[in-house]
Amino acid sequence: MRIALFVTCVNDLVFPGTGRAVVRLLERLGHRVDFPPEQTCCGQMHANSGYRAEALPLVRGFVAAFDRYDVVVAPSGSCVAMVRDGYPRLAEGDPALHAAVTALAPRTLELSELLVDVLGATDVGATFPHRVAYHPTCHGLRMLRLGDRPRRLLASVRGLDLVELAEPEQCCGFGGTFALKNSAVSGAMLADKCADAVASGAEYLAAADNSCLAHIGGGLARRPGAPRPIHYAEILAGPEEDR
Amino acid sequence: MTGTGRITAALPFPVAARRQLADGQLRDNLRRATRTIRDRRARTVAQVPDWEALRAAGTAIKDDVLGRLPELLEQFEAAAGAAGAQVHWARDAAEACAVVTDLVRATGADEVVKVKSMATQEIGLNEALAAAGISAVETDLAELIVQLAGDTPSHILVPAIHYNRRQIRDILAAGLPAADAARLTDDPAVLAEVARYRLRQRFLTARVAVCGANFAVAETGSLVVVESEGNGRMCLTLPETLICVVGVEKVVPTFTDLEVFLQLLPASATGERMNPYTSVWTGVRPGDGPRSVHVVLLDNGRSDTLADRVGRQALRCIRCSACLNVCPVYEQVGGHAYGSTYPGPIGAILSPQLTGPDGGANRTLPYASTLCGACYDVCPVRINIPEVLVHLRQVGVDARRDRPSPERAALRAMSWVMRDRRRYRAALRAARRGAAPLRRVGGRRGGVRRLPWPLSAWTTARDAPLPPGQTFGEWWAGRNPEAHR
């Protein structure tokens, strides 16, 4: 099985540790991971902001980079949802591209889908002796229907005490450009999410999307004693030895 | 023809929302009320074993209606006419208000009783009647409270959701003699009794009633009103003249179709398996009900909306307001921030479509969402609200393609950079290097506390993350040098 890592542009630049964690984790489980160097960005920000014409070249780029792989894995529910839910719609009107994306979309998986559904692993052999709350980010929750996969993976980590948020499914208020265009409303939603995270008593707030985590983490950083944001791939992968 | 009336936001959503956010009492009231209804809906829906099948059926019936609307409306007109009702057609709010005003004038009445109706709110009927010297009395309790407060509804189903019961007590007390007002408590039963007393005389003396309809059955010419308080039943049975204002998309083909919607609507709206009052009536019949029945079929932008292949699904809406109660944005700002009769997620896709491209501040409404998708999950007729929001953003962007904007310039530049791996790698490298001085000064937990405009919109509420010293691509290239030449 040829597994390609789609690291996503946000992780590539701002959260490379998450990409390294995915590589470390999959290699530990005995799989080879490829990083196709042609990859850039999925175009979600363009598409969701209404810039279809600007998103389309990025759709084509994604297909060119990943078409030859059996499975594409990304540590981002939101970017995978863009490919699976958004690409077929964006490609309407270009039959060849549409055929390519509808073939590639089902093979593009969020990390927990690859681990649980394809590799059949819920215990990945990790240890993380901390209290962790999991925030199911909206696109993973409602577009990919990740369900309890990430929680099952976390619950199998040795030493990890998984606690629940009071309202886990409430959006954190990020919403891409929403956080800038409607920053006041976004900030109010963030305040609720941060209060929930603090009240959970967790040391870490885990999620499957670093974009949402950057938003929540940016709010938590201003609250003393708040949990630290962490991508759940980094918990599953364990600490980096060579750094 | 584009829609008119009370469906156009006066202020851009971000501005209106910021004003509402400043009201802490409002946010408390909304949080409590939306959660109560949201939880009740979830419990009730969980008890319906064929809920998904019902949703699919409701969606299919509505799509069938939208596919042959003219035919069904003509069928409705013929059936209602044969049953003794008179059908009028109104292209926009002004025409609809004129039709209703003339009908009321012809009866000689100077007061009408009203059943809560979104269509009459949409066209601003109460104001139009007032201008003609006719007073309209709202008989739904919450709608009456809003009317007495000189306010506008902030929710489709619960118009006074922005008030708590103490505030409602004060509103009702203001209309009472001083001695009675002093004794008024905020017990809901007591408050309802005050309204009941106020309204009872009105029901018995009113000669004209105005209502909307949840459904209009093409096959039989019947109108259906779904309600909880019994005020609707009073209005539909007691006055001599009944005037019903109905959006054209409310038509359903057959009486049997109601079987689906009378399950979907109460469960989604109030979290009840069955609502207390469902009134169905067909034209005029001897010895009972109104002597004269008029139906005003309202377009007001609906035909234009129907012409949009993606956006038309908004016309499936049955006004249950489940999407409002789960929306994390609505919960923070309430209905007034949307500036239209239709607030919340459904309002964000319906109002701009009804008013069309000249809807002023309505073009900010498709951005009033994080695209979290909670609304789509609960919609009983599966309106993919996030899909329509993105579609409307795209329509807006395409319409202003030739006008310069910093956002367009930035996104075009990003797209150009990102469609080529070398440009992309160079840009990441530049961003990483550019962040290096910030990392040295401000980097508490790797974040920045303050950024200049326009990124200050981010740092008002949250630290901004900083790229570390090496991108993932650089790390990979160092690890697998052969793969990257």
Query: What is the C-alpha to C-alpha distance for residues B241 and B104, in angstroms, rounded to an integer?
Result: 9
Domain layout of chain A by residue ranges: 3-118, 131-237
Q: Which domain does B36 fall in, by range?
A: 13-303
Selecting from A52, A188, A191 the residue whose C-beta is nearest the C-beta of B394 gives A52
Structure tokens belonging to residue B484? 């990257």
Answer yes or no: do A171 and B374 touch at CB < 8 A.
yes
Answer yes or no: do A183 and B457 touch at CB < 8 A.
yes
- Measured CA distances, A189 to A109, B27, B454 (Å): 29, 11, 20
Domain termination residue (choose one: B303, B319, B352): B303
Confirm if B311 and B392 have CB atoms less than 8 A apart: yes
Evaluate if residue A51 carries a pLDDT over 80: yes
Nearest Cα residue in chain A from B410: A46
Selecting from A38, A52, A139 the residue whose C-beta is nearest the C-beta of B421 gives A38
For A72, the enclosing helix (H) or strand (E) is strand A71-74
Q: Residue B195: its pLDDT value, please?
A: 87
Answer yes or no: do B480 and A187 touch at CB < 8 A.
no
Selecting from A9, A54, A191 the residue whose C-beta is nearest the C-beta of B412 gives A54
Domain termination residue (choose one: B276, B303, B330): B303
On whether residue B182 sits in a domain, the answer given is yes
Query: What is the C-alpha to C-alpha distance for residues A50 and B390, in angstroms, rounded to an integer?
Result: 6
When pLDDT is averaged across residues A170-189 and rounded to a whole number, the result is 97
Return all residues near B383 (Cβ < 8 A) that are at least 6 apart: B313, B314, B316, B317, B323, B346, B349, B375, B376
Domain termination residue (choose one: B278, B303, B328): B303
Q: Residue A151: its pLDDT value, please?
A: 98
**Strands A71-74 and B464-465, bridge-based pairing:** unpaired
DSSP H helices, A72-182, are 77-81, 87-90, 95-104, 111-113, 138, 149-155, 178-181
Answer yes or no: do A183 and B467 touch at CB < 8 A.
no
B471: closest CA of chain A, how far (Å): 5
Q: What is the 3-state secondary structure (H, E, C) of B420-477?
A: CHHHHHHHHHHHHHHHHHHHHHHCECCEECCCCCCCHHHHCCCCEECCCCCCHHHHHH
Size of interface A-B (CB pairs under 8 A): 204
Q: Residue B197: its pLDDT value, please?
A: 86
pLDDT digits (tens, 9 = 90+) for B157-176: 999 999 999 999 999 999 78
Query: What is the C-alpha to C-alpha distance for residues A214 and A212, in angstroms, rounded to an integer?
Result: 5
Rg over alpha carbons for chain A, rounded to the nearest Å, is 18
* Fold category of A131-237 in CATH: Rossmann fold (3.40.50)
Selecting from B373, B444, B483 the residue whose C-beta is nearest the C-beta of A142 gives B373
Q: Which residues of A touch B372 (CB under 8 A)?
A: 138, 142, 171, 175
Q: Residue B446: its pLDDT value, please?
A: 65
On whether residue B28 sits in a domain, the answer given is yes
B383: closest CA of chain A, how far (Å): 14
Selecting from B454, B462, B472 the residue whose C-beta is nearest the C-beta of A20 gives B472
**Cis omega (within 30 of 0) on the bond before B266?**
no
pLDDT digits (tens, 9 = 90+) for A207-232: 999 999 999 999 999 998 999 999 99
When pLDDT is averaged across residues A175-197 and rounded to a whole number, the result is 97
Rg over alpha carbons for chain B, rounded to the nearest Å, is 26
Of B261, B236, B267, nearest to B117 by C-alpha is B236
Query: What is the C-alpha to C-alpha distance for residues A31 and A120, in angstroms, rounded to an integer?
Result: 13
Three-point CA angle B449, A208, A50, nearest 5°: 75
Burial of B451 (0-12, 13-18, 19+ CB in 10 A): middle
Q: Residue B484: its pLDDT value, please?
A: 53
N-term to C-term CA, chain B: 60
Tally Cβ neighbours within 10 Å of residue A94: 14
Query: What is the C-alpha to C-alpha distance for residues A134 and B75, in angstroms, rounded to an integer?
Result: 55
On whether residue B408 sits in a domain, the answer given is no
On whether residue B190 sits in a domain, the answer given is yes
Structure tokens belonging to residue A229? 């944001």
Return all residues near B332 (Cβ < 8 A) that are at least 6 apart: A185, A188, A189, B17, B20, B21, B27, B30
Average pLDDT, chain A: 97
> Which of A42-46, A59-63, B141-145, B249-253 shows the lowest mean pLDDT across its residues?
B141-145
Tell me, yes or no, whether B79 and B222 share the same domain.
yes
Q: Residue B288: its pLDDT value, please?
A: 87
Tally Cβ neighbours within 10 Å of residue B429: 15
Q: Residue B21: its pLDDT value, please?
A: 96
On whether residue B338 sits in a domain, the answer given is no
Answer yes or no: do A35 and B476 touch at CB < 8 A.
yes
For A197, the enclosing helix (H) or strand (E) is helix A183-199
ipTM score: 0.97
Q: How many domains does chain B have?
A: 2
Q: Which residues of B touch A173 (CB under 8 A)?
A: 328, 370
Return all residues near A243 (Cβ < 8 A) that are at least 6 apart: none
Q: Residue B445: its pLDDT value, please?
A: 58
Q: Which residues of A touch B368 (CB under 8 A)?
A: 182, 185
Amino acid present at B428: L
Answer yes or no: do B480 and A217 touch at CB < 8 A.
no
Tell me which residues of chain B have a pLDDT lower than 70.
442-446, 483-485
Q: Which residues of B touch A13 (CB under 8 A)?
A: 428, 431-432, 467, 471-472
On whether residue B48 sits in a domain, the answer given is yes
Answer yes or no: do B484 and A38 touch at CB < 8 A.
no
C-alpha dihedral sign at A187, A192, A195, A197: negative
On whether residue B128 sits in a domain, the answer given is yes
On whether residue B292 sits in a domain, the answer given is yes
Return all residues near B380 (Cβ < 8 A) that are at least 6 apart: B54, B55, B58, B264, B265, B267, B268, B318, B320, B322
A126: closest CA of chain B, how far (Å): 22
Nearest Cα residue in chain B from A90: B391
Q: Residue A243: its pLDDT value, please?
A: 46
Answer yes or no: do B390 and A222 touch at CB < 8 A.
no
Answer yes or no: do A183 and B461 touch at CB < 8 A.
yes
The model's pTM: 0.96
Query: What is the C-alpha to C-alpha distance for residues A224 and A228, in angstroms, rounded to an integer?
Result: 11
Answer yes or no: do B467 and A14 touch at CB < 8 A.
yes
